[in-house]
Structure formats: structure tokens, C-alpha cells
Amino acid sequence: MKERATVRTKGSAKEVRQEAILRLIENEKIATQNDLSKRLEESGFPVTQATISRDIRELRLVKVAEAGGDYHYAVGKTQEKYQASHKFYSIFLASVVKIDYANNLVVITCYTGMAQAVCACIDSLEWQGVVGTVAGDDTILMITRDEQTAAEMVKTLREIR
């Protein structure tokens, strides 16, 4: 069996591996976890599928569409309204019924049983100006820093719908 020489920099093996993942997706169009796993192995990082999944989640990688319709991994951009993951859009579009606000509070009404899923997706986006969210069965309460942020958030969310 051939042994690979790997150059490790400061940091844990996990940190070094995740830096390698970021470099790979920055320089190549990697479409699947299997492709990522192969490229990591070639770079001296043998990994399991579970490790790849965990790294993708921790690094907040998303799949973005190219002009031709093919998808590849990219770093999620949490501050830009249209750079959220495909998962957010799918869940949001299928679940949200109504969006409104009063002062600095945004109320998002969902189909029964869907508010927590939508809320988890919203939380993962870490929108600037959102202090926190609370989800019930069919309603999400989003607390923003001020009324202007609430109005902008409602406008953004309505544009998605």
C-alpha cells in the first residue's frame, strides 16, 4: 500500500481538512459529496461519508446552480438575500402562507406543522439585524433590531414568495 505524504499546517486535523475543502470548492466545481471525498483523498485526506456531511454542514456549504443548470458546492453567503441554499427556498416556498410585521416584530404564518422547519432555515441564514426567532406549530415570530429592519425583512421574504 502506497503511503501519502501530507503537509499539515497549524491547527487540528479537522481544521486543516476543512481548509482543504474550502480551497477545493473555491478552485474546482465539485458537484457531489463523492466528488469531494475523492478530491480530498487525492489531497491526502481520507474521509468517511459522515465526515464529509458534517464538514459540509459546519462550513455551511450550499449547492449553487450554474447557468446550464448544473450544481456545485460553494460557501454560503449569509448576508445576501438570494444566496441562501436551495433547501431554504424549497421549504420556504412550500410552507409560508403570510408575512407581516408590527414595529420590530415580523410574523410569518405557515401551514400547520411547518413553522419549526422554516424557522430553522431562517436561523441558519444569520440575517443581519435579526435578534432571534421563535417558532410554534404554524407561526414564527422574528424579532429584529428596529422597525426599518422588520420592514426590509418582510419585503425580502415577500419577494421570495
Q: Where are the domains of the chain?
A: 13-75, 86-160
Contact 25, 72 (CB under 8 A): yes
Cell, residue 96: 409560508
Please, what is the average pLDDT of the chain?
83
Asked if the model's pLDDT at residue 88 lies above 80, the reply is no
Asked if the model's pLDDT at residue 2 lies above 60, the reply is no
Residue 50 has a CB neighbour count (10 Å cut-off) of: 8
Is residue 39 very low, low, confident or very high in pLDDT (cuts 50, 70, 90)?
Answer: very high
Q: Which CATH number fits domain 86-160: 3.30.930.10, 3.30.1360.40, 1.10.10.10, 3.40.50.1360?
A: 3.30.1360.40
CATH code, residues 13-75: 1.10.10.10
